[in-house]
Chain A
């Protein structure tokens, strides 16, 4: 509740409430009709702006011709799901799905597994080098892709890992691992120290405490770190576009670009593919978004 947000005279009226006629007295948090309407108006416009580009993409994906996006009016009369059928049957859609899933899930699993113990260590223990490690974890998260892409390209081509899923997973781990460690530290910080102490009193080693007590309690935190790694890896463009060369190994972020080349632009198919990708990912996102936000900001404020 915040009356502070209402751009009205309501607060002024509250202060002078005694002089106002009894019928017009408003309780705290109530706003005038006009203010309410204004809020609804602004929010409706904002929602339309948020919704329109996505809705437009869905609409265009129903037009059968590749230049239909220039004549949206014509789509209405000849709407069809042909694009979807074509994308599913005659393009590399399922190859791309496979690559995207392999790479994103691989990154997620490695990221969370590798980062979990570190998140715990930096949350509970103070050891020489602690500050340096935290600093490295923080700085790694703000690496622009331009810093690592050239040396990674050279190193991976020496190791023959260009155009391989494993190579791309390794590259993604360079951001996912520090990020997960940072995020998990934030989560472990919220688990009371008393639990660790109880474990120690009962004779567990630090590792035992971690694996038997803390890890089961930290499942929601692990899930958030996993979701975040998954979504980031899934949507990554630069490395995937550069390192994946054969069109059966493209992730969606690369595959989608391949519909538009210099010679031909199959925008209708592109739109259909985009919609097919967007639906499951957005659904997944909506399921986890609440946790995601708390996780993202917690790491920073407690850092």
Chain B
């Protein structure tokens, strides 16, 4: 029942009064595809109302100087009209080039890139290593697998608090380090160690997803490929390089993309680990949230502008990533 876009409309044009143009095309399209449109209508409405409309409104807010003091609000019985005004692209200019732009935007930007790269790298390599180990014939394999998935199974907002207890000044981690006569860093206070612990906690949370997906990918690689390569005299490294890695391509390109998007947007870990206490360890998402909701007065316009910038970064990145993947695939095909 696949409906294809064929050229039937063009043929019929001669029979009726020739009326080419948008109206006609819409009408034909409607007759031909009305059930497809009826089926996507619910989602189209939801996306339009809940995503595109707020997005447009947010875009408008970024062009104003809206904050919690001049927005429409109700205090008791008094309704106060919004008094913010249009300022054009000032917010973007201020964020990107304004005074102290480095401290407000670029330092967080760099940290976000580092954070994303390090976290996804660690997720991927630890996940791949564990998946390779779990893919062997091994006693207790199912048990290991179930335990290793635990960080994913428990909600993040629960585990992050567990980590907070552990990393507290005299928590178990520092007690253990002290017992071993190692230095005991201030995990949740010192900027470097804040960043370190954020990456550590996020790595801990994110490895299981990579591990399980990559394990699925490994199990789908045809065993006869390994036999054939062994017959050809490939050693363990060569089999890994020329059979395992290519076999994992489609799975890993997907999970790496998902991982990058999720890590870039990761809110819960940093927000719950530090609250408002760590301005230097905030990635762009949590920083935007701080501007909009974690301070007084709430700077809605700047926060929304950060949001738009973030979305722009992600869209640009994703389209380059997909293009790069497509090109690689074509090269392989040739």
Contacts and interface: CB of A to CB of B under 8 A. Distances in A.
Contacts of B175: 72
B45 to A, nearest CB: 8
A257 B272 contact: yes
A281 B155 contact: yes
A200 B35 CA distance: 14
Interface residues of A, number: 115
B168 A149 contact: no
B5 interface: yes
Q: A interface, by DSSP: helix, strand, loop or mixed? A: helix
B155 A118 contact: no
A145 B285 contact: yes
A56 B133 contact: no
A55 to B, nearest CB: 9
Interface of A: 1-8, 10-12, 14-15, 28-29, 31, 36, 39-40, 42-44, 46-47, 49-51, 53-54, 56-57, 60, 69-70, 72, 113-115, 117-118, 120-122, 124-128, 133, 136-137, 139-155, 157-158, 170-171, 173-174, 177-178, 181, 193, 196-197, 199-200, 205-207, 209-210, 231, 234-235, 237-238, 241-242, 252-253, 256-257, 267, 270-271, 274, 277-278, 281-282, 285-286, 289, 293-294, 296-297, 300-301
Interface of B: 1-5, 29, 32-33, 35-40, 42-44, 46-47, 50-51, 53-55, 57-58, 61, 66, 71-73, 129-130, 132-140, 144, 146-159, 161-163, 165-166, 168, 170-172, 175, 204, 208-209, 212-213, 216-218, 221, 223, 226-227, 230, 233, 235-236, 239-240, 243-244, 250-251, 254-255, 257-258, 261, 264-265, 267-268, 271-272, 284-285, 288-289, 292-293, 300, 303-304, 306-308, 310-311, 314-315, 318
Given A6-B136, A6-B236, A237-B268, 17 more contacts: A3-B239, A4-B132, A4-B240, A69-B171, A120-B39, A124-B1, A126-B2, A133-B40, A140-B47, A145-B267, A146-B288, A146-B289, A210-B39, A235-B268, A282-B154, A293-B213, A300-B254
